[in-house]
Amino acid sequence: METRSLGPGAPDEGAVTIGGMPLSIRDRPDEATGIAVLHAVLDAGVTLLDTADVYCLDHKDIGHNERLFAKALKTWSGDRHNLVVATKGGMVRPEGGWEHDGRPAHLTQACDKSLRALGVDRIDLYQLHTPDPSVPFADSVGALAELQKQEKIRWIGLSNVSVAQIEEARALVTVVSVQNRLSPFFREAIETGVIAHCAEHGIGFLAYSPVGGGRLNKKLPTHPVLAPMAERLGASPHAVVLAWVMAQGPNVIPIAAGRSVKSALDSTTVASLKLTADDLSSIDEAGFSIAR
Is residue 283 included in any domain, yes or no?
Answer: no
CA dist 144 → 16, 45, 120, 180, 292 (Å): 26, 30, 17, 18, 39
How many CA within 13 A on the CB side of residue 106?
Answer: 18
Q: Count structural domains, the chain.
A: 1
- Specify the pLDDT at position 120: 97
- Compute the average pLDDT of residues 169-182: 98
Q: Where are the beta strands (DSSP E) in 116-251?
A: 123-128, 153-159, 175-181, 204-208
Is residue 129 included in any domain, yes or no?
Answer: yes
Strand partners, 155: 125
Is residue 271 over pLDDT 80? no
Q: Please state, in angstroms and rounded to a whole number, the distance separating the CA atoms of residues 117 and 53.
A: 9
Helix (H, G, I), strand (E, B) or coil at 89: strand
- Specify the pLDDT at position 260: 94
Q: Does 208 participate in catalysis according to the annotation?
A: no
CB 206 within 8 A of CB 175: no
Is residue 114 included in any domain, yes or no?
Answer: yes
Instruction: Write the pLDDT tens digit of every residue in 88-134.
Output: 999 999 999 999 999 999 999 999 999 999 999 999 999 999 999 99
Instruction: Write the pLDDT tens digit of every residue in 188-204.
Output: 999 999 999 999 999 99
Is residue 251 included in any domain, yes or no?
Answer: yes
CB 146 within 8 A of CB 107: no
Is residue 291 included in any domain, yes or no?
Answer: no
Instruction: Write the pLDDT tens digit of every residue in 36-47.
Output: 999 999 999 999
49 band by pLDDT with thresholds 50, 70 and 90:
very high
The pTM score is 0.96
| Strand 175-181 versus strand 204-208 pairing type | parallel
CATH assignment at residue 253:
3.20.20.100
- Compute the average pLDDT of residues 11-27: 94
- Compute the average pLDDT of residues 230-252: 95
Closest CA to 207 of 259, 246, 176, 156: 246
- Specify the pLDDT at position 270: 87
More confident residue, 291 or 191: 191
Q: Please state, in angstroms and rounded to a whole number, the distance separating the CA atoms of residues 5 and 124.
A: 15
- Specify the pLDDT at position 79: 87
Instruction: Write the pLDDT tens digit of every residue in 69-97.
Output: 999 999 999 988 889 999 999 999 999 99
- Specify the pLDDT at position 291: 85
Share of residues in the chain with pLDDT > 70 (%): 100
The residue segments making up the domain with residue 149 are 3-215+241-274
Closest CA to 76 of 43, 47, 50: 43
Catalytic residue among 55, 69, 137, 208, which? 55
CB 65 within 8 A of CB 24: yes
- Specify the pLDDT at position 285: 96
Is residue 236 included in any domain, yes or no?
Answer: no
- Compute the average pLDDT of residues 246-266: 94
Is residue 17 included in any domain, yes or no?
Answer: yes
Q: What is the mean pLDDT of the chain?
A: 96
Closest CA to 149 of 176, 122, 118, 109: 122
Q: Please state, in angstroms and rounded to a whole number, the distance separating the CA atoms of residues 63 and 68.
A: 9
Is residue 137 included in any domain, yes or no?
Answer: yes
- Specify the pLDDT at position 292: 78
- Specify the pLDDT at position 269: 85
